[in-house]
A and B are shown apart, each in its own frame.
Chain A
Amino acid sequence: MSAPRALGYAALALGLAAPFAGSPYGSARGRIDVDELAGVVARGEDHVEAIDLAQRIRARQPGLRVIDLRTNEELDGYAIPGAERHAIDALSRLHPAPGDTLVLVSQAGAHAAQAWVLLRALGWRQVYFLRGGMDEWRDEVMRPELAADADEHARRAFEVVADLSRYFGGAPGIGPARGDGGSGAPPGGERKGAVRPRRYGC
C-alpha cells in the first residue's frame, strides 16, 4: 500500500472515530471566594460606566478588550468600536493575555454581571462589566442629552461629554427641561440634574 493511501486510511479512521470521542474542550471549573467578591462588589470595583469606558477607548488604554456578549437577536445597530463578540456559553474559551483588561458588555448589564462572576471564578482579576450595558452606552455616549434648563456650569461640563460622543459618532442633544435649574454635573462624574437621570443594570 502506498504511503498516501495509508495516510488516507489513517485519516479516515481518526475522522470516523471523532464523533464518539466527545468534546475536545475540557470543562472549566472555577472557585469563588465569596467574601472577596462581595467586597469588590461593595466597593464598586466590579464595573465601569459608559463614559469612563468611552474615555478609556479614546485614550487607547493598552490591553483594554471590550467583550460584547449580546446575541445576534440583541444587536440593535449600536456597537462599541473594537469590541469582540463572544458567546456567553463559551466564556471559558476566552483566554486573556497577561496585561489584558476585559470589559464585559451585554444588552442591559445583567448577563455581563453574571459573566463577570464566572470569569472571576476562573481566576481572572482584571475583569469589569459595563453596568448598564449597551442601553447605557446608547443613552450616555451615543445620545447624551442636556436638560433644556441646565445652568452654565452644567452646559460647560456637558460639552466634555458631547465632544466624547461626537468622537464615537454620537448625536448629543438638548432634552426636556427638568425644572430644577439644571444644577447637576456631567455624566461620568457627579451627574445629577443636567442630564436626564436613567436607571441601569442590576
Chain B
Amino acid sequence: MMPSDSPLVAFGIGIAFGVALERAGLAHAPTLAGQFYFTDFTVFKVMFSALVTAMLGAFWLSRLGVIELAAVHVPQTWLLPQVVGGLVFGLGFVVSGLCPGTGCAAAASGRLDGLSTVLGMFVGVLATGWAYPMLEPFLVRTAYGPLTLPQALGVPYGVVVCGVVVVALGAFRLVEWQERRT
C-alpha cells in the first residue's frame, strides 16, 4: 500500500482539488473578485461548505475511532504576522482575482491571468525568502503555538463544532436571501 505522505498521493489529491475548484467555477477570476464586491457568493459557499464538511468529518470520524485527530498536524500560530500576512494575501487576492489554489487551477486551464498569478506567487516566495533575515524579528512575534479554536476560546471541542455549523448554516440562509433580492 502506498504511504499517505507519498508525493504521488499528494499529486493525486492536488489534481482532484484542482478539478473540484475548476468545476466549482473558482478558477474564474471574476467569480472570485465578485466575492469582495458582494455580487457573487460562490467562493463563500464553496469554502464554508468544505470547512464544515471537513470539520464534521474530522470530529465524528475521530469520535468513532476511524481516525486519530491528535495525529493531525496543527500549524503554529503567530498572531500579528499572520494578520498582516492575511491582509497582504487578501490584497493580492483582490488584485489578481485568484488565490494560490485557484491560480494553479486557472493556470492549468490555460488562462493567462492564472499563469501570471502563479508567476507572481513564485516571485513573492523568492522575495520573502531573500528578505527573511530582515523580516524574522517580526515574523516570530506573538507566538501562540499550535492553537485551535477550542483552546483559544476555552470551550469544549464539540461546542465549537456546533457553533461553526450554526453560524455557517445561518450565513448560507442569509446569502440565499441576499441572492434572491438581487
Q: Which residues on A are within 8 Å of B, measured CB to CB?
A: 8, 11-12, 14-16, 18-26, 28, 68, 72, 75, 79, 81, 84-87, 90, 92-93, 95
Contact = CB atoms under 8 A, between A and B. Distances in A.
A118 B93 CA distance: 45
Contacts of B140: 79, 81
Secondary structure call for the B interface = helix
A21 B58 CA distance: 13
B159 interface: yes
Given A12-B169, A15-B165, A24-B58, A92 B70 contact: yes
Interface string B104-131: 0000000000000000000000000000
Interface string B135-153: 0000010011110000100
A154 B114 CA distance: 62
A163 to B, nearest CB: 18
Contact of A19 (B56, B76, B156): B156
Contacts of B1: none
5 contacts: A18-B56, A19-B159, A22-B63, A25-B70, A85-B144
Contacts of A79: 140, 143
Interface in B151-173: 151, 156-159, 161-162, 164-166, 168-169, 172
Contacts of A87: 145, 151
Contact of B60 (A14, A86, A92): A14
Nearest to A93: B70
B169 A19 contact: no
A95 B70 contact: yes
Contacts of B134: none
B136 to A, nearest CB: 8
Contacts of A26: 65, 68, 70
Contacts of B59: 18, 21, 24
Interface string B44-61: 000000001100101110
Contacts of B74: 93
A9 to B, nearest CB: 9
Given A14-B165, A24-B157, A95-B71, A84 B56 contact: no
Interface of B: 52-53, 56, 58-60, 62-63, 65, 68-71, 73-74, 76, 140, 143-146, 151, 156-159, 161-162, 164-166, 168-169, 172
B89 to A, nearest CB: 23
A28 B166 CA distance: 31
Contact of B145 (A14, A16, A85, A92): A85
Given A79-B140, A84-B76, A93-B70, A11 B146 contact: no
Nearest to A10: B56
A8 B172 contact: yes
Contacts of B158: 18-24
Given A11-B52, A68-B145, A84-B145, 7 more contacts: A11-B169, A12-B166, A15-B56, A15-B165, A19-B159, A24-B59, A24-B157
A24 B56 contact: no
Contacts of A72: 144
Contact of B76 (A18, A85, A92): A85
A25 B62 contact: yes
B162 A18 contact: yes
**Most chain B CB within a 10 A radius of its CB, from A20, A28, A86, A93:** A93
